[in-house]
A and B are shown apart, each in its own frame.
Chain A
Amino acid sequence: MGEPSGTEAESPPEPAHGPAYDPTPGPAEAPAPAPSAPAPAPPDGAVIATRALTKRYRGGQPAVDSLDLTVPAGSVFGFLGPNGSGKTTTIRMLMGLIAPTSGTAHVLGRSMPRAARTVLPRVGALIEGPAAYGFLSGRDNLLRYDAADPTADPRTRRHRVAAALDRVGLAAAAGKRAGAYSLGMKQRLGLAAALLRPRSLLVLDEPTNGLDPQGMREIRSLVRELAADGTTVFLSSHLLDEIEHVCTHAAVMARGRLLAQGAVADLAAGMRGRLVVTTPDPGDAARVLKERGAGDVAVDGDRVTAQPPDGDLAELNAALVTDGVRVRGFAVERASLEDAFVALTGEGFDVAG
């Protein structure tokens, strides 16, 4: 998806021809840019692949409309969209909880919901917040969820439950009633349930909801750890910042439609950065920038921002100085995922935190 700009908002991106991905995710802080000549993703490489997936609730508008989503193996995939954009409906279809109205969904190479029994043991999921039996301890909750999986070995059950609790930092509270857990602890318990067994795919819907900053950091580093082990992580979040920090790939949804998908670096790179000039002479600076072909010039106090014109920016800086503009700062700010998101959806985003 080389052009995640608003112009193609109505046509879903071509399926299965996303940019090539690196199966071993690089450091998530700075995802490596995709190679310039993207090769088509091999069909077997897609952990999640949907074709024209549509869900229409009784009589209403489609909640999900002709979704073609491709999640490459080994990626940390961010699933973005405003509330009500169809993210959760999509996740529920992928997990076999609701049946699509039309279209297909393949998870781990097999059709859902038909293959739920063979696919789901390899998938850990946190869907729309955690849920627990309040009168059971955290440990007993996990024992029950594990017992529900007919392919989980009962002989190792206690051991795996203890390991999962330990992994999310709940070991000390394992014997406490889950009803007395804080929201953050419940969230951790839900994550532990997703980690009861080695998984090929983790589907995490808003995993850092209700966590304090320290908890968020722990969960993010846990996600990176799991990804480094080769687990594909499908992460829905309304925190763009989180997606940018953790994810290698992302997709953006709005009103049931997929607006763009691809490597995070590509999505942001499609946006041109903005030129920022800091100066005590903003009026003169704006005039010079316009003369030199910069577009969309805006003045805000001593900051003048603009779309950089073609040509060498060093020449532009020299021109400013030659015209007597005193320049304190001269820089191009890299476009963020948020800029890309706003350009795609044409609307603001609930950027909490």
Chain B
Amino acid sequence: MSRADTPDAAERPGAQRDPAPVTAGAGAPAGRRLPPSLGLFRSELLITFRRGRTLVLLGVLAAVPVLVGIAVRIETGGGPSRGPGGGPGGPAFLAQVSNNGLFLVFTALAVTLPFFLPMAVGVVAGDALAGESAAGTLRYLLVAPAGRTRLLLTKYATVTVFCLAATLVVAVSALAVGALLFPLGDLVTISGTRIGYGEGLLRALLIALVVAASLTGIAALGLFVSTLTGSGIAAMAATVGLLITVQILDQIPQLHAIHPYLFTHHWMSFADLMREPVYWDALVRNLGLQALYAAVFGSAAWARFAAKDITA
């Protein structure tokens, strides 16, 4: 908190007459600390998830498993298809979907993780501060006073919740579509062993959490971009543009030296959770990289926002 001071009482005896309270139950005297409350965080969640744009994004994400499920269903005619093992060409786990609806969860996440999910996160994160700035509400939050560090942390926490919500929307939609269109039951891991349906569900949940965590890097990046501009649209476009650039760089073999540092590089490692035993190396590297991005761009966002002149 660069602009804070010691939280002693603001009242100085004799300096000010206290005006008559506006209402009877006016609450604690200004300046005195109440126990920390989650009011701003709750308010932040409310405005994020009540915004029409957020709901459209989540709707699009929910539609992806429906499209994939229907396509697979039409293609295979409902009958069991090829055996285990990722078929060449298609997204991970696609070939197994018609055998077991649960695989639609993994397929849907594999389809949405490279672009749809991070784009949605980029839109929400990019708009987080720049949108408030463009609407003029940022100045009123800051004179409330929300506190710059507190507001930034609340924004990041909210974007993280959105990462989880977006991932779960995809997963739950896929689970429902998979259960409707395809048989359920025991499933075969990548390593060829069989696990029960309950164990499979648990793995699906774990994968959803890892996918959500994979998005925290771009969330911090988007929030940093959001502190740089006063236009929500510009921040969203810049964040999504960065995502596309990084995805392209990751495809160029000549640049393999920088690949391990690109935040998208280890995203697909979540599939390793479907091995028996689980192969943790790439998973840990992915989560470590996301933590690094969150730390670097989170600090950059704080350094920028704490000292920024709010002229909008």
Contact = CB atoms under 8 A, between A and B. Distances in A.
Interface of A: 23, 44, 47, 73-74, 92, 95-99, 108-110, 113-123, 125, 127-136, 140, 143-157, 159-160, 163-164, 167, 190, 193, 195-200, 226, 229-231
User: Which bracket fits the contact residues of B?
Assistant: 35 or more
Given A95-B143, A129-B136, A147-B39, A118 B8 contact: yes
A148 B309 contact: no
Given A92-B311, A97-B143, A148-B144, A131 B137 contact: yes
A199 B19 contact: yes
Q: Is the interface of B mostly helix, strand, loop or mixed?
A: loop
Interface stretch (B23-31, B60-68, B230-238, B268-276): B23-31
A298 to B, nearest CB: 45
A299 B144 CA distance: 56
B40 interface: yes
9 contacts: A108-B15, A117-B3, A129-B136, A131-B139, A150-B33, A150-B40, A159-B25, A160-B25, A196-B22
Nearest to A55: B309
Contacts of A144: 43, 46-47
B18 A147 contact: no
Interface in B233-270: none
A151 B26 CA distance: 11
A131 B136 contact: yes
A99 B31 contact: no
Contact of A229 (B19, B25, B33): B19
Nearest to B154: A148
Contacts of A167: 22
Contacts of A226: 19
A114 B148 CA distance: 12
B179 interface: no
A145 B140 contact: yes
Contact of A127 (B33, B42, B139, B145): B139
A149 B51 contact: no
Given A109-B15, A110-B10, A231-B19, A151 B33 contact: yes
Contact of A153 (B8, B34, B36): B34
